A = this chain, B = another copy of it.
Amino acid sequence: MELDEAKLKFIHAWGTLGTKWGINRTMAQVHALLLVATQSLSASNIMEELNISRGNANMNLRALIDWGLVMKELKPGDRKEYFYAEKDIWKMSKLILVQRKKKELEPIMVVLKDLNNAVEGDGEDVKTFNTTIKDLNDFALHADKVVEKVVQSDINWLLETFLKQFLKS
C-alpha cells in the first residue's frame, strides 16, 4: 500500500470510529491527521487536507489542545500557529482516560452521592432502592480509583506487575 493511501485510510477510519468514542468526526480526523504527520501543521494545512471550514478546524483544534492531545508551536519568522500531536500512545491514552472519567464518571458520582442514604424508612422498597444506589456508588468509587491510579502511576509498572502476572495469553 502507498503511504498516502494508508494515511487517508487511517484518517478516515479514525474519524468514523471517533464518533463511537464520543468525540466528533472532525476532532478525531484532525487528531488522526496530526498523529501521522511528520511535521507540525497549520490550521490552513488541516482545513485543506480534511476539507473543512476554518471555524470547524479552529474549534476542534482548541478541543484537542484542551484535552492535551495536541500542542501548539510557533515557528520563528512565521505568524501562523502550527500544531502537532502527542505521539506517545500511552500518554495519549491516559489523557483520553482523564477526559472520559470527567465526562462519564464524575457526573454520575455526584448524583449517586446525593441519593446515597437520602431515603429513610424500612419498607422493602426503600431497602431495595438504597441497596441499588449503594452498589452503584461503590462501583463508581472503585472505577474512579482505578482510573486515577492508572493515570497517576507509572503505567509500565502497572502493566508489568499486573498484566504480565495475571493476564498472560
Contacts and interface: CB of A to CB of B under 8 A. Distances in A.
Nearest to A169: B145
Contacts of A114: 9
A166 B139 contact: no
Given A125-B3, A128-B38, A139-B93, A146 B163 contact: yes
Interface in A93-130: 93, 103-104, 107-108, 111, 114-115, 118-119, 121, 123-126, 128-129
Interface stretch (A17-25, A41-49, A57-65, A72-80): A17-25
A36 interface: yes
Contacts of A123: 3
A6 B107 contact: no
